Amino acid sequence: MSTAAGDEIPKISAPANRALDLAGHTTLTAISRLTKKDLLDLHGVGPKAIRILREALAERGLTFADERE
């Protein structure tokens, strides 16, 4: 599956990348629909991955679902 330019998930740990891929979350847009808890519930996704994903989302004007007002 091809992603739009700028919507790619940044390089995080291999276990976190596998967990996201297996769960079908292959773009930052898809990640922005999830809460931090949704992500942390995936085996292999931890606080460091959350931090990296949050920074990548912010660069594109996105946030996690539970961080919106």
pLDDT on residue 6: 79
Q: Report if residue 38 sits inside a domain.
A: yes
Tokens of 53: 């994903």
Above 70 in pLDDT, residue 3?
A: no
The CATH number of the domain holding residue 45 is: 1.10.150.20
pLDDT on residue 46: 97
The SS3 of residue 10 is coil
Domain tally, the chain: 1
pLDDT on residue 69: 74
Q: Report if residue 1 sits inside a domain.
A: no
Per-residue pLDDT reduced to its tens digit, 5-58: 779 999 999 999 999 999 999 999 999 999 999 999 999 999 999 999 999 999
* Residue 65 DSSP label: G
Give the Cα separation of 5 and 51 in Å (integer): 21
Range(s) of the domain holding residue 47: 14-67
Helices (H), 11-67: 14-22, 28-31, 36-40, 47-59
Above 60 in pLDDT, residue 1?
A: no
Q: Report if residue 47 sits inside a domain.
A: yes
Predicted model pTM: 0.89
| Measured CA distances, 27 to 49, 69 (Å) | 14, 22
